[in-house]
Structure 1
Amino acid sequence: MGEKFRDKYRTTSFRRPNWDYGSNGLYFVTICTKDKTHYFGDIVETQHIVSLQKTEIANIAFKNWLEIPKHFSFVELDDFVIMPNHLHGILFIINLIKQIGMSTSLVAKVIILHRS
């Protein structure tokens, strides 16, 4: 178990210490829903096939994911999957912008836009 913050346990961060997350590379990101609520849908089984029965919120999340490169020209998208209470995606940062002085927290900027 991690440390407590505001009387709640926090999980340990999987971020690499001292890593510049504005560097070029592939980044695996996970975004969780508040309180792990199943906003994106539920897992259902029909004819022995298990799948996610998506909600409209899941469709919006998927649409927003596809629009990330329109807002951030230095990002290419790779795989993306929606689960009931979180989503996973792979971002490819091609950071030519860093050379002209943009902040190095590019991955954070992309995720903040997607979450809003």
Structure 2
Amino acid sequence: MKFNPDIHHRKSLRFKHYDYRQNGLYFITICCKNRQCLLGNIVDDEMNLNNLGEMVRKCWLKIQNYYPQVNLHPFVIMPNHIHGIIEIASNENWGECDSPLHNQSTFNGTSQTIGAMIRGFKAGVTSWARKNTEHYDIWQRNYYEHIIRNEKSYNQIIEYIENNPILWEQDRFYNS
């Protein structure tokens, strides 16, 4: 079907004028396509990763290798999604930013954004999966992100991450 802007439009989940290279803490959720349980299973309130889930863990930890300005905080891999906190600790190499809100060219520095990090992570997992499993499409389009603005929110998110396997059946991403 030929592109038709009246029906082929996707609404971005991101803040329109927010600079996602900005120092800060970001709570990220990435879901498997159609919420399929591809990454392992919960047994006795603990997540047991399968081979694909283990590769997700390895690729998540490798984010810091490609983005030295990033610190990874607690994360959890669930049967059909991953939650994690990514901290951008320094943007010194990108120039001065007076405020996280900017009107910037879409081509200016996109390789250092949260979106670029997630794209690289998803691509790494997908590449491995296509070579080593029967799964071709791993991820749903896009990801969820929440900008963590204070310590109370940070602590609540860490508690949520830590308790996610225990509360799996009440999770909004639960798919039996």
- TM-score bracket, normalised by the shorter chain, equals 0.7 to 0.9
Unpaired segments of 5 or more residues in structure 1? none
> What is the deviation of 1:103?
3.3
Which structure shows the bigger proportion of residues in helix conformation? 2
Mapped to 2, the partners of 1:83 and 1:12 lie a distance apart of 25
Mapped to 2, the partners of 1:34 and 1:25 lie a distance apart of 28
Report what 1:75 is aligned to: 70
Report what 1:65 is aligned to: 60
Q: Point out 4+ residue stretches in structure 1 off by more than 6 angstroms.
A: none
> What is the deviation of 1:16?
3.6
Confirm whether residue 24 of structure 1 aligns to residue 23 of structure 2.
yes
| Number of residue-to-residue matches in the alignment | 104
> What is the deviation of 1:104?
7.5
Contact 2:110 2:116 in 1 (8 A): no
Report % sequence identity.
34
Report what 1:39 is aligned to: 38
Contact 2:27 2:86 in 1 (8 A): yes
Report what 1:106 is aligned to: 113
> What is the deviation of 1:66?
1.0
Mapped to 1, the partners of 2:11 and 2:113 lie a distance apart of 23
Mapped to 2, the partners of 1:74 and 1:43 lie a distance apart of 33
Unpaired segments of 5 or more residues in structure 2? 1-6, 97-107, 124-176
- Compared CA separation, residues 20 and 104, structure 1 to 2 (3 A): farther
> What is the deviation of 1:39?
0.7
CA RMSD in angstroms comes to 2.5
- Compared CA separation, residues 68 and 114, structure 1 to 2 (3 A): same
- Compared CA separation, residues 12 and 102, structure 1 to 2 (3 A): closer
Contact 1:32 1:87 in 2 (8 A): yes
Which structure shows the bigger proportion of residues in strand conformation? 1
